[in-house]
Every structure is written in structure tokens, then in C-alpha cells.
Amino acid sequence: MVAVTLVLGDITEQQVDAVVNAANSELLGGGGVDGAIHRRGGPAILAECRRLRDTEYPRGLPTGAAVATTAGELPARWVIHTVGPVWSARGDRAAQLAPLLASCYSESLRVAAGLGARTVAFPAVSTGVYRWPMDDAARIAIETVREYSADIDEARFVLFDSAAYDVFAERLAR
């Protein structure tokens, strides 16, 4: 069973085996979590991302997929890059995209378990630049992680502000 925990803080400071990056398909850095991870983790992460683009993912990492690199100078051992879907205000479209957001969590845990990681820290994928509403993102994140039964001890959601933390706490209590 995965223990689901919540922390108010910065994903780059987590002492866990693997931290998940809310990356974009290009894998070459960006803003938000992605920018913070590359800034704090140093150039080794980007170097591995470039190698992945040159080899396995010439067309980019697909939405809902996950891939691991070194964590460089971060306290973690690995960064698992995953690409969330961009929110659509059209209800039918959002329903089609929700499984891709769930896939970010299940694929990241699958990759983590494959590496032997026991503790994994997640940001609220897609809730920044990609605009997914926090409450729905929290529901999908918590449901997906709770259903996952592989060899992971702790899935930690790291929320950047108290509004996001409160939304996750409310969902977790259900």
C-alpha cells in the first residue's frame, strides 16, 4: 500500500528517492516546476533530457508518459519527467484528457518502482501553466495514486501554496 502524504513546500527540496517533474513534451526545460528542477538540479538533468530527445523521444515525450533521468544536484536520486495535458474548458474534451492526467501519476509510479524508488514526490501536475482546476487535479491525483499497488512506500504531494495544500487535504480526507 502506498502512503499518501501532503507537504506545503518546494519540490526541489524533497528528500525522496524520486521527484516528478511537470515537464513539457520537448523535455528541454520551461517555467514552474520544470524551471525550478533544472535550476536547482544543474546541467546534468538537461544533458540527459537532450540525450533522450536524440534517442528514444525524437518527437518529444507524449502527454501522459513518464521517463527518468538523474536528479543532478537535487537531494533526490532521480527526476521522473511527465507531461500533463493542457486543460480544456470544453467539458467533453476535459473528460477525454482526464485519463492522460491520471496516466502521469500511474506511469511515474511505474517508472519509479522499476528503478527501485520507494518514496516519490509529485507536484500538482497540469495545475500551473496548463490551467487544470486544482480540485479536479487533486481528485485525479489522489484517486490514481491510491489505486496504485506497486512497490512504493510513500507518494508525497508537494503543494506550492496553502490554497493548493488545502484543496489536496480536503480531497485526501474523503
- What whole-number distance in Å separates Cα of residue 109 and Cα of residue 151? 9
Alpha carbon separation from 89 to 24, 40, 95, 96, 133 (Å, rounded): 20, 33, 10, 12, 10
Nearer to ligand ADP, 17 or 34 (CB): 34
Does residue 34 carry a catalytic annotation? yes
- Cell numbers linked to 141: 491525483
Q: In what order do the strands lie in the sheet with 119-122?
A: 3-8, 154-159, 119-122, 18-23, 78-83, 66-70
Return the residue of 7, 46, 129, 169 that touches ligand ADP, per CB under 6 A: 129
CB of 21 to ligand ADP, least distance (A): 8
Nearer to ligand ADP, 11 or 45 (CB): 11
Query: Could you say whether residue 41 binds ligand ADP (CB under 6 A)?
Result: no
The catalytic position among 34, 54, 136, 151 is 34
Return the residue of 16, 19, 33, 152 that touches ligand ADP, per CB under 6 A: 33
DSSP secondary structure, 130-148, as one string: T---HHHHHHHHHHHHHH-
CB of 104 to ligand ADP, least distance (A): 9
CB of 115 to ligand ADP, least distance (A): 21
Residues 6 or more apart whose Cβ sits within 8 Å of residue 26: 53, 60
Of 72-80, 88-96, 112-120, 127-135, which part binds ligand ADP (CB under 6 A)? 127-135
